[in-house]
Amino acid sequence: MRNTPGRPRPRLLALLASGALALGGAIALPGTAEAANILANAGFESGGLSPWTCTGNLGSVVSSPVHGGSKALQGDPSSSDDAQCGQTVPVQPNTTYSLSGWVRGSYVYLGVDGGASTWTTSPSAYSKLSVSFTTGASQTSATVWVHGWYAQGAYYADDISLDGPGGGGGGSDTQAPTAPTGLTSTAKTSSSVSLQWNAATDNVGVTAYDIYSGANRVLSVSGTAATVGGLSPSTGYTFTVKARDAAGNVSGASNAVSVTTDAGSGGGSGFRQAAPYLYEGWGDPPNPSTVMSATGVKSFTMAFVLDSGGCTPAWDGSRPLTGGADQSAVDQIRSAGGDVVPSFGGWQGSKLGANCSSASALAGAIQKVIDAYGLKAVDMDIENTDEFENEAVQARILTALKTVKAANPGLRTIVTFGTSTTGPTYYGNRLIEQAQSLGADIDVFTIMPFDFGGGSDMYGNTVNAAEGLKAKLKSTFGWDDATAYAHIGISGMNGLSDQQENTTPAIWTQIRDWADSHHIGRLAFWAVNRDRPCAGGGVVSNCSGISQDTWQFTSITAGFTG
């Protein structure tokens, strides 16, 4: 993003704000669980996995190395699967539970779906991981899991414990439901597939059905029909369904159904995404699963991937590409059913586009991030004189995006850049022209309609800027209106910008509605970190500077459908 509080700032205000919140009033405290391990086969001493299930069938029980007893779990991550092994158990609402386990391996994670997680790297010896979480007011089951990391070698886990009271019948049931039958596809679009199946049976009753796309669990529902969204157009998917009961017993898989999504409509990119920026480097980063639960948002643009030296990608050029706070945030988002788009570049810092010696070297750096996270899309935030105002670097970036798109079928590419109030500037026009001449096949051209000295009419200026971009795309690529709109993205700035432009929630709602009515490809804003109220607070990193509800801009953005 532009030279906004989108870069590191002193944390004093964030600390003072959080302290004030803590002292602001009394809160209801959740109950504390009694210490009793409610997991079954917690030490894998049965010699089998059940009731644990592992993605991709990448888990097994081994006799060495173990932490206690004579057996342990071994997970074998592949380049596309982190070998997550989980168990679902009944729990009591509004109750605090303690999860712990002994793990060994490079980058091993322990956590609970939709909640807290922790990790360690302990390649040569077992070490203990511990985390606590509190169930929701109506929550009756929880899925705990352990996993490694992509292509990092085998990991081991043993003596996993979830301490607290069981729910319902206390977790003593060990009979799994029957497998669902008759799975069929009933409808499809360019981005979704609707499924239905026959109900499974169980001795105490089925509580949920888990829908899998390949080895990945993508959705859980209580009925016998579901619609899986967020899919790519003209792409093949294979789905299965498993039944689950209150004790966490999981059935075998149903029959498999293979479906190819429709092509994108209107000749456009077929890409629709609401993905506000989330930055782990400053601004009191919020818990993404909390934001998702409160707003319904499913995707985030994660900032920023920079160069740590030698054309090597790292978060902010300093935080590790995997195994740190950024990966933890990605894991939480995906565990809650969402996904991420890493953003490369930004206003300042050591950027890969400017520092990699060639387009092929830059493509290699981008590919490292794609491989690390199994990405469906990447965003190149092209700014400042080193990238945006350097036509050679523009060409290097576009050529690298063309390269990775060819190497990763289905990958979506986004470029993000500044704008005037009437459309692209000289360098924006040059970027679009080079994209056409290089055949870069960019999916979304995203403008940042702020910090352009646009005065008070942020809605009118944003629309005018987007219409100017549409006109440029039509004239450059020969597209019709619908196709040009489908290739447009808008990335605003919530509340006060650096130039004191004020985008209020009401204005952002207007912009969202305009974006929906014109079926543009992408809507984002800078940033979720700032999506908190501080009327009169100025331009700071952890609030918007205006009066608003917490996460209000994110909620508005989540309503974008394209």
C-alpha 210/C-alpha 226 separation (Å) is 10
The catalytically annotated residue of 280, 383, 387, 501 is 383
In 3D, which of 211, 206, 208 has the Cα closest to residue 230? 211
pTM of the model: 0.57
> One digit per residue, pLDDT tens: the chain, 562 residues?
544 443 332 222 232 233 322 323 332 333 433 446 888 888 998 888 888 989 888 899 999 999 988 899 999 988 767 889 999 888 888 888 999 999 999 889 999 987 788 888 888 899 999 999 988 887 888 899 999 987 788 999 999 999 888 765 447 677 889 999 999 998 887 767 889 999 999 887 787 888 888 877 777 777 898 877 656 677 788 999 999 877 778 899 999 999 988 765 444 455 789 999 999 988 899 999 999 999 999 999 999 999 999 999 999 999 999 999 999 999 999 999 999 999 999 999 999 999 999 999 999 999 999 999 999 999 999 999 999 999 999 999 999 999 999 899 889 999 999 999 999 999 999 999 999 888 888 999 999 999 987 778 999 999 999 999 999 999 888 888 888 999 999 999 999 998 899 999 999 999 999 999 999 999 999 999 999 999 998 889 999 999 999 999 999 999 998 8
pLDDT digits (tens, 9 = 90+) for 261-317: 876 544 445 578 999 999 998 889 999 999 999 999 999 999 999 999 999 999 999
40: preceding bond cis by omega (within 30 degrees): no
Q: What is the pLDDT of residue 391?
A: 92
**Given the DSSP bridges, would you call strands 155-163 and 72-75 parallel, antiparallel or unpaired?**
antiparallel
Q: What is the per-residue burial (b if ≥16 Cβ within 10 Å, else e) of 97-122? A: bbbbbbbbbbbbbbbbbbbbbbbbbb
Q: Could you tell me whether strands 72-75 and 59-62 are parallel, antiparallel, or unpaired per DSSP bridges?
A: antiparallel
Residue 229 is predicted with a pLDDT of: 65
Catalytic residue list contains 383: yes
Residue 257 CA, distance from chain mean position = 26
Quick one: pLDDT at residue 6?
Answer: 39
- Tell which residue, 12, 2, 1, has the closest CA to residue 540: 12
Q: For position 169, what pLDDT does the model report?
A: 43
Residues of the chain with pLDDT > 70: what percent? 89
Give CA separation, 488 vs 22, 112, 262, 471, 520, in Å: 42, 37, 21, 11, 5
Of 550, 458, 459, the residue nearest 499 (C-alpha): 458
Pairing of strands 95-112, 31-32: parallel
CA torsion, ordered 38, 40, 45, 49, to nearest 10 deg: -140
**Phi, psi values for residue 16, rounded to 5°:** -65, -40
Distances (CA, A) of 229 to 193, 211, 311, 537: 7, 12, 35, 39
Q: For position 457, what pLDDT does the model report?
A: 93
Tell me which H or E stretch contains 421.
Answer: none
User: Which three-class secondary structure state does DSSP give residue 290?
Assistant: helix
d(CA 380, CA 399): 12
The pLDDT value recorded for residue 115 is 76
